[in-house]
Amino acid sequence: MYLKNYSNRNNVPQTEPIPGREADQTQNHAGGFSFKISLWDRLERFLILGTEGGSYYVGEREMTKESITVVKDALKEDWARTLGMIVQISEEGRAPKNDPALFALAMVIANGTPSIKAEALKSIPRVARTGTHFLHLVTFLKGMRGFGRSVSRALGRWYLDKGVDKATYQMLKYQSRDGMSHRDVLRLVHPVTKDPQYQALFRYFTSKDREPRTLIDPKRPTAIRTYGGIPQTDIPALVNVYEQIKTLNPENQNDRRCLCSLIGEYRLTHEMVPNDFKGHPEIWEALLQDMPAEATLRNLGVMTANGVLSPFSSGTKMVLSRLSSGGALLKARLHPLKILVAKRVYQAGHGMKGSLSWTPVPQILDVLEEAFYGSFGVITPTNKNTYLGIDCSGSMWGGAVCGSSLTPAAAAACMAMVTLRTEQAMTYGFNDTMRHINITAKSSLAEVERTMKRVDWGGTDCALPMLHALKNKWPVESFIIYTDSETWMGSVHPAKALQRYRQEMGIPAKLVVVGMTATEFSIADPNDAGMLDVVGFDTATPNVMNDFLRK
């Protein structure tokens, strides 16, 4: 008995490390042993998945503290690679939210040496592309460090390098975020410029009193309008338009027509329009003409409630055209998770907050479904026999993916659908036992979510997909497992189960592990060239997986 237990190295339970691999494995939060992922893989997971919402085992605060350590360790090991990853993932729109990249960039600025900080400061416009990004970054920097001369200059350049018109647009569209406003930033960094329009713009935003007044200037033949003491002739035209809108009456039809004209001429966004006007359909019709794809997603409900979007309406036709253009979606960096969440909210017929309700337009639901798949780009099939295993254990039903309303289990099932639509695949769920999941390439995302909700919770055994395929003698060439790697229940480790499958079936099957939370674990053996760990909801993931599986 003693010799049998000593020699059978393949049947070590998951609550113990694999003999000889103790240095490569670590105890996960559930008590089982998984492989450690590299520092760079951990950094990638954080930049893409973030820590908002935490996980089943780890709260958001603790997970964020772990990720801070990861960024600091990566910075010490190779600061150029760290900064390069931050910029690349942000610019390519691979993450559902830009906040992790902004937070990491702020950490590099706050913790780097003077030369590292100088390079990081140059990257600010590439990562903080919009006013929202910029205000988030300033909030992070303020919480980490003070504003020295070099940081203040770099933040001031963010405004000055855009040109006065683009800077004005960003400042009016995104006036404040997280309690931080452009007035706060300008008073902190004091950008220096000789451009009179910039000077007037900055005075306008830093003025405590923007009330319009009439100024009698003896040097001028006529009285002039001022805002905060600044002559309207000195400030950018968009600010004058913004102030003019404030004088309009939403109940006056002529004033509404005037606003619609201004929206079209100056391409105003809904953030620049007073809320009192937003109950009138013609305002939304005017806004919709040049509305960006992401703003269109966010406002589908309110436009439907106002009657702008209805079956066969011109507004609906415009939305269908905009959201069905794959190239436009990729150019807009419209992330699949944002589309998926927007579809869920729109289909529900009411917002997450407030009392607004609407009846969804079926054609819009259909185009959102296709937009979700299209946002991953063109995916080349592998033409391999593929087994999709979705972890449905208790830990996959806790926490949230990127702070969304989706649990890791539901998000995993939706990601699996991307593969189902391109491969000959079978789909099973697992926890402590195997569960057949009745979804096919023709299933809708709504059907997928309803099916997942019927799956029972349980413990985690990530070896089950390989053992299940082996038991049934299925000739699987590719295993794809969506999990948080919190495996612990099985009598054999997942990596060993794959090895057994290969030996007994005579098939060099590969394994791709899709990590659905920003933890440091994976069931993929880093020493096995036939196993790969990737990040869930990275827009690059489907093609990375397919490139690996085709070889």
- pLDDT, residue 6, reads 39
Q: Quick one: pLDDT band at residue 489, thresholds 50, 70, 90?
A: confident
Residue 429's identity, in one-letter code, is: G
- pLDDT, residue 220, reads 53
Q: Quick one: pLDDT band at residue 457, thresholds 50, 70, 90?
A: confident
Q: Which residue has the higher pLDDT, 145 or 226?
A: 145
Q: Quick one: pLDDT band at residue 277, thresholds 50, 70, 90?
A: very high
213: pLDDT strictly greater than 70 = no
- pLDDT, residue 222, reads 52
Average pLDDT of the chain is 87
> pLDDT tens digits for 402-453?
777 788 888 888 889 889 988 889 999 888 888 888 888 888 888 888 888 7
Give the sign of the dihedral formed by CA 188, CA 89, CA 26, CA 492: positive
DSSP state of 16: S
- pLDDT, residue 413, reads 87
- pLDDT, residue 509, reads 97
Q: Is 412:396 a contact under the CB 8 Å cutoff?
A: yes
Token pair listed for 524: 């993929």
272: pLDDT strictly greater than 80 = yes
- pLDDT, residue 52, reads 64
The pair phi, psi for residue 280, each rounded to 5°, is: -105, 125
d(CA 23, CA 51): 27
Residue 103's identity, in one-letter code, is: F
Q: Which CATH architecture has domain 386-550?
A: 3-Layer(aba) Sandwich (3.40)
Token pair listed for 439: 């979804």
d(CA 361, CA 366): 9
Token pair listed for 104: 């990491």
- pLDDT, residue 146, reads 72
Q: Quick one: pLDDT band at residue 55, thresholds 50, 70, 90?
A: low
Percent of the chain with pLDDT over 70: 91
235: pLDDT strictly greater than 90 = no
> pLDDT tens digits for 347-406?
999 887 778 899 999 999 999 999 888 888 778 889 999 999 999 888 888 777 877 778
Strand boundaries in 185-279, DSSP class E: 212-215, 224-227, 230-231
Of 49-58, 157-166, 317-326, 461-470, the one with minimum mean pLDDT is: 49-58
Q: Measured at the alpha carbon of residue 337, what is the angle toward residues 382 and 434, in degrees to the nearest 5?
A: 60
532: pLDDT strictly greater than 60 = yes
Span 485-505, average pLDDT = 91
Q: Is 493:42 a contact under the CB 8 Å cutoff?
A: no
- Indicate the domain borders of the chain: 39-206, 291-334+336-374, 386-550
Q: Quick one: pLDDT band at residue 5, thresholds 50, 70, 90?
A: very low
Q: Is 294:332 a contact under the CB 8 Å cutoff?
A: yes
d(CA 202, CA 186): 7
Token pair listed for 320: 């269908």
Helix 408-420 to helix 541-550 angle (10° resolution) is: 50
Q: Which residue has the higher pLDDT, 463 or 327?
A: 463
d(CA 362, CA 223): 55
Span 259-288, average pLDDT = 95
228: pLDDT strictly greater than 80 = no
Q: Quick one: pLDDT band at residue 216, thresholds 50, 70, 90?
A: very low
Q: Tokens 């954080």 belong to which residue?
A: 46
Percent of the chain with pLDDT over 90: 52
The helix/strand count (H/E) of the chain reads as: 26, 14
CA 193 from centroid of its chain's CA atoms: 36
Which residues face 390 on adjacent strands?
A: 429, 482
Span 65-94, average pLDDT = 93
543: pLDDT strictly greater than 50 = yes
1: pLDDT strictly greater than 90 = no
> pLDDT tens digits for 17-36?
899 888 888 888 888 888 88
